[in-house]
Amino acid sequence: MLRPRFLFFIVNPYAGVGRGSLAQLRVREAVRRIGPDAEIRVLHRGEDITAAVEQGIYQGATDVIAVGGDGTVGGVAGALAGTGTTMGIVPAGTANMLAQELNIPLSAPSALRLILGPHATRCIDAMELDDRRFVYQIVLGPGAEALIHLTPELKVLFGRSVYALLGLRMFMDFRPLRVKGLIDDEEIDSRVSHIIIANAGILGFRPFRLGSGIHVDDGHIEVILMEGQSRASVLAAGLDLLSGNYGTGSSLRYLIARKNVYIETEPPTIIKADGEFFGHTPLDMTVLPGAVRVIVPPR
């Protein structure tokens, strides 16, 4: 016998360009209509998302709903990985990449109708680093270092165009990396411009993708090496991504990880996981297939 649904909404009112506060109003309306079978938890700046998720689980939530941008969604998903509790998404950020990947409506009213009405679920994979779980992408190299400069103020000022500016910054700050490591049992030893460990394929926003065969629920992770030692190689890799040239003849090398990824770089470089800075290389990551159950549109 299925137990009654109890929805626990975790809201980041600071997400997006005012979208978080507007989504909060929509969620409050929905919670009032639902009554005692729903609760809202509004995050303060810098508050620990994991603690909020644990509160929801402790209170018996069947569904924990992330209301915010990619940082909020990734934080909730990571905290729910392996718990069996269902996750919902109300997108309220700038890029909303996981919502795009799962074809979740990008407006708060439509996303709420999906959560409260007919829907399906998908069990998506996760990536574990030092007991933390991530569900989207891990970036190493100049790309991660360029993201240091991605501030909320820049997002407000430039919107999605800020990602193009970061690409320019990444190009100007280029320095090659010597990479050694293991992808499952396959050794790698190469010189690269960037490394992306991808559970999901959308790069910023549609139609740009890291690869045509990257899916969040395929049971494995793609490791993408942008090979080369010059700014010309960075430009070539960028053009390959923008043009959808992922195959033979591109400057992109794709490796599949079903269990583990271990990477060392020289010099050491920043690790950014689901938009969050996570120290420096070496990186030791474990693949967690089907770790998070997410509400999605019916097939």
pLDDT digits (tens, 9 = 90+) for 33-86: 999 999 999 999 989 999 999 999 999 999 999 999 999 999 999 999 999 999
pLDDT for position 262 = 98
Question: Which parts of the chain register pLDDT below 50?
Answer: none
- Say if residue 184 is in the same domain as residue 66: no
pLDDT for position 141 = 83
- Say if residue 99 is in the same domain as residue 153: no
Of 83, 117, 151, which closes a domain? 117
pLDDT for position 166 = 58
* pTM summary value: 0.86
Residue 128 lies in a domain: no
- Say if residue 195 is in the same domain as residue 239: yes
- Please tell me whether residue 221 adopts helix, strand or coil conformation: strand
Domain that holds residue 236: 137-290
- Say if residue 225 is in the same domain as residue 186: yes
Please give the Cα distance from 72 to 212 (Å, whole number). Answer: 26
- Say if residue 284 is in the same domain as residue 141: yes
pLDDT for position 251 = 73
CATH of the domain at 56: 3.40.50.10330
pLDDT for position 159 = 52
- Residue-wise pLDDT for 145-162, tens only, equals 555 555 555 555 555 555
- Say if residue 168 is in the same domain as residue 61: no
- Say if residue 214 is in the same domain as residue 107: no
CATH of the domain at 271: 2.60.200.40
- Say if residue 148 is in the same domain as residue 107: no
Q: What is the DSSP letter of 145?
A: H
- Say if residue 96 is in the same domain as residue 188: no
- Say if residue 81 is in the same domain as residue 151: no
Core vs surface per residue 92-106: b (16+ CB within 10 A) or e? bbbbbbbbbbbebbb
- Say if residue 149 is in the same domain as residue 94: no
Alpha-carbon distances of 8 from 13, 96, 103, 248, 274, rounded to whole Å = 16, 20, 22, 47, 22
pLDDT for position 244 = 62
Please give the Cα distance from 294 to 129 (Å, whole number). Answer: 21
